[in-house]
C-alpha cells in the first residue's frame, strides 16, 4: 500500500456512484451511517442499460429515490414504459406489464442513463452521502481488522480510506473482483454489442413508444436488436450477437457497421426507414462476467460488479437495485455488532433471481424462449407468469415459471412448437 498521509474513516466506502451505489448510499443514510462514495468518472456520463423494469420501482421507492426520478422525468425525456414488444419477420407480439402474475408496479420508464444516474447520485448526496468524482481506487487490503483502500484523485493526490465495510458498485469497472482476483469466467459465449442513439422518426401507427422493441434477425436468430424509445423522438438502438456473426460485414468502421447490419434485416429496416444515425456508434465485447463469491471479509459486491448476464431482458439495473436492497439491512445489522451469514442471507437470495434471469437468457439464444414469445395462441395465465419475469419479478417464488425455470421453459417451448405445427398443418390442409 502507498504511504498516504491523509486517512478517511467513514462507516462504509462505496466504490461507484451508479444505481446500485446510489441506492445503497441512500439506504445506509436512512440508518444514519457515514457513507463515502468514490466514482472514477464525472457525472453525467454515458451508459447503456436504458430500459428499466417495473420491479425497479419498488427498490427505488424503498431507497427514497423514486420521487426524484419522477420529478426529473419531464426535464430529461424519460419515456413511460408499460411493456415489451417483439418482432420476428412478419410476426409481432407484445407483453403488457400491467397484466402480469406478480403483484407490484406494472409501469416504469425508458431513460437516458446519463441524467438518470446523475439524479440518483445527487439524491444520495442530498441524503448526506459524500460523493467524490474523479477518484480512483488503486489498491485494497481486506486482511486486517478493517479494510483499507488506496485512492488517487485526478490531480494525483493520494490518500487512504479505512472504512468499517466496503461495497463495490463499480459495474463493468469491477474494481474489487480485479484487485482481489475474484473473477470467474462466464459460461456464456463471447458476444458483441454495437449501439448508438438515433433520431428514430417512428411512424406512430407502426411503433408503440411505451414499449421496448426486441427484434430477432430472421437469418441469424441468435442475433437481436433493441429499440428503446425516449420521449424526445430519439431512441437507443443496438444489435447483439456472437462475434462470428459480424464477420460477414467485413472490416467496416463502427459508424458504418450498425446501419449495414440493420439493412440485413428487412422488417426492422422498414420500421427504421427514416431514422437518422447522428451519434457515434459504440461497442462492448465480451460483457458477460461472473465472480467466485459476492462477499468476503468486510466487503460485498453489488450489481454488475458481481455478475452481468446479458442485455436482452434489461435485467442489469433491476439486479443492481435488488442487490442494494438486500445488502443494506444486513450491513446495518453487521455494523451494529450483529451476526450476518452473507452467503445464505445475501449471496444465495440474490443469485436465486439471477438464476431465473439466466434460464430465460439461455433459452432465448437457444431458441426455445423465442418459441414461447411468438406462441400462436398463448394461454393467458401462463403468459402472465412469463410477463412477470419480463417485468423484473424474478424473485417471486410464488410464480411457477420462476421455479425450476429451465425445465418449465423447455416444456412450455415444446407445447408452443406443437401448437405452431398444428396451425401450419391446418393451413396446408
pLDDT digits (tens, 9 = 90+) for 350-375: 999 999 999 999 999 999 999 999 99
Q: Are 173 and 40 within 8 A, CB to CB? A: yes
Residues 301 and 411 in one domain: no
Question: What's the average model confidence in pLDDT over 156-184?
Answer: 95
Residue 98 lies in a domain: no
Span 303-317, mean pLDDT?
90
Q: Within this chain, do residues 241 and 260 fall inside the same structural domain, yes or no?
A: yes
What is the predicted pLDDT for the residue at 99? 97
Q: Is residue 100 in a domain?
A: no
Mean per-residue pLDDT over the chain, rounded: 95
Q: Are residues 336 and 414 in the same domain?
A: no
Would you state the pLDDT for residue 146?
92
| Residues 65-96: b if buried by 16+ CB within 10 A, e if exposed | bbebbeebbeebbbbebbbbbbbbeeeeebbb
pLDDT in tens, 89-117: 999 999 999 999 999 999 999 999 999 99
Q: Read off the pTM.
A: 0.95
Q: How many CB atoms lie within 10 A of CB 33?
A: 21
Taking only Cα atoms into account, the Rg of the chain, rounded to an integer number of angstroms, comes to 22
pLDDT at 340: 97
Residues 176 and 203 in one domain: no
C-alpha cell at 203: 411512424
Spatial neighbors of 226 by CB under 8 A, at least 6 apart, are 51, 195, 212, 213, 214, 215, 236, 237, 238, 239, 240, 311
Please state, for a pLDDT cut of 70, what percent of the chain lies above it: 97
**Domain boundary residue, one of 258, 285, 312:** 285
Mark whether 326 and 237 lie in a shared domain. no
Instruction: Say whether both 304 and 170 belong to one domain.
Output: yes
280 and 203 inside one domain: yes
7 vs 421, which has greater pLDDT? Answer: 7
When mean pLDDT is compared across 257-261, 307-311, 413-417, the lowest value belongs to 307-311
Do residues 178 and 201 both lie within one domain? no
What's the structural domain count of the chain? 3
Residues 200 and 123 in one domain: no
Average pLDDT (412-418) is 93
Q: What is the pLDDT of residue 49?
A: 93
Q: Residue 119 belongs to what domain range?
A: 7-77+112-184+289-340
Q: Where are the beta strands (DSSP E) in 187-335?
A: 191-199, 211-216, 224-229, 234-242, 282-285, 290-291, 295-296, 299-301
CATH number, domain at 129?
3.50.50.60
Q: Is residue 266 part of a domain?
A: yes
pLDDT at residue 63 above 80? Answer: yes
What tens digit of pLDDT does each residue of 23-52 get?
999 999 999 999 999 999 999 999 999 999
What is the CATH classification number for the domain harbouring 276? 3.30.9.100
Domain shared by 66 and 151, yes or no: yes
- Assigned domain for 386 exists: yes
Q: 195 and 70, same structural domain?
A: no
Whether 429 shows a pLDDT value over 70: the answer reads: no
Is 249 inside any structural domain?
yes
For residue range 384-411, list pLDDT tens digits in order.
999 999 999 999 999 999 999 999 999 9
pLDDT surpasses 90 at 2: no
pLDDT > 90: what percent of the chain? Answer: 89
β-strand partners of 408: none
Residues 38, 157, single domain; the answer is yes
Interval 69-81 mean pLDDT: 97
* Residue 104 within any structural domain of the chain: no
Q: What is the pLDDT of residues 188-230, one digit of tens each?
A: 889 999 999 999 999 999 999 999 999 999 999 999 999 999 9
Model confidence at 1, in pLDDT bands (50, 70, 90)? very low
Higher pLDDT, 21 or 1: 21
Residue 387 falls within a domain, yes or no? yes
- For residue 293, being part of any structural domain is answered with yes
Amino acid at each position: 500500500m502507498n504511504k498516504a498521509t491523509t486517512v478517511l474513516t467513514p462507516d462504509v466506502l462505496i466504490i461507484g456512484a451508479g444505481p446500485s451505489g446510489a441506492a445503497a448510499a441512500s439506504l445506509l443514510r436512512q440508518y444514519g451511517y457515514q457513507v463515502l462514495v468514490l466514482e472514477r468518472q464525472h457525472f453525467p456520463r454515458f451508459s447503456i442499460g436504458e430500459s428499466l423494469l417495473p420491479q425497479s420501482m419498488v427498490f427505488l421507492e424503498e431507497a427514497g429515490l423514486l420521487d426524484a426520478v419522477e420529478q426529473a422525468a419531464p426535464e430529461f425525456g424519460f419515456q413511460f414504459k408499460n411493456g415489451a414488444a417483439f418482432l420476428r419477420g412478419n410476426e409481432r407480439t407484445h407483453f403488457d406489464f400491467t397484466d402480469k402474475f406478480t403483484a407490484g408496479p406494472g409501469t416504469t420508464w425508458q431513460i437516458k442513463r446519463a441524467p438518470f444516474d446523475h439524479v440518483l447520485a445527487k439524491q444520495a448526496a442530498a441524503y448526506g452521502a459524500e460523493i467524490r468524482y474523479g477518484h480512483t481506487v488503486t489498491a485494497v487490503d481486506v486482511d486486517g481488522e478493517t479494510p483499507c483502500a488506496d485512492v488517487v484523485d485526478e490531480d494525483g493526490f493520494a490518500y487512504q480510506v479505512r472504512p468499517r465495510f466496503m461495497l463495490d458498485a463499480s459495474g463493468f469497472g469491477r474494481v474489487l473482483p480485479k484487485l482481489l482476483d475474484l473473477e470467474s469466467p462466464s459460461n456464456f459465449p463471447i458476444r458483441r454489442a454495437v449501439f448508438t442513439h438515433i433520431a428514430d422518426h417512428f411512424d406512430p401507427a407502426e411503433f408503440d413508444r411505451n414499449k421496448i422493441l426486441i427484434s430477432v434477425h430472421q437469418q441469424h436468430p441468435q442475433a437481436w436488436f433493441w429499440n428503446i424509445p425516449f420521449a424526445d423522438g430519439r431512441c437507443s438502438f443496438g444489435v447483439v450477437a456472437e462475434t462470428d456473426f459480424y464477420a460477414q460485414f467485413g472490416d467496416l468502421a463502427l459508424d458504418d457497421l450498425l446501419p449495414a447490419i440493420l439493412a440485413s434485416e428487412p422488417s426492422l429496416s422498414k420500421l427504421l426507414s427514416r431514422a437518422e444515425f447522428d451519434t457515434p456508434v459504440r461497442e462492448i465485447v465480451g460483457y458477460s462476467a461472473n465472480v467466485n463469491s459476492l462477499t468476503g471479509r468486510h466487503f460485498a459486491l453489488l450489481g454488475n460488479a458481481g455478475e452481468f448476464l446479458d442485455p436482452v431482458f434489461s435485467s442489469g439495473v433491476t439486479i443492481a437495485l435488488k442487490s442494494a436492497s438486500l445488502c443494506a439491512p444486513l450491513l446495518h445489522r453487521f455494523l451494529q455488532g450483529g451476526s450476518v451469514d452473507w452467503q445464505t442471507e445475501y449471496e444465495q437470495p440474490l443469485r436465486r433471481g439471477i438464476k431465473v434471469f439466466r434460464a430465460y437468457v439461455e433459452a432465448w439464444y437457444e431458441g426455445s424462449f423465442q418459441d414461447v414469445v411468438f406462441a400462436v395462441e398463448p394461454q393467458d395465465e401462463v403468459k402472465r407468469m412469463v410477463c412477470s419475469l419480463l417485468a423484473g419479478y424474478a424473485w417471486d417464488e410464488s410464480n411457477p415459471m420462476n421455479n425450476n425455470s429451465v425445465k418449465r421453459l423447455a416444456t412450455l417451448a415444446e407445447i408452443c412448437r406443437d401448437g405452431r405445427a398444428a396451425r401450419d398443418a391446418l393451413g396446408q390442409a
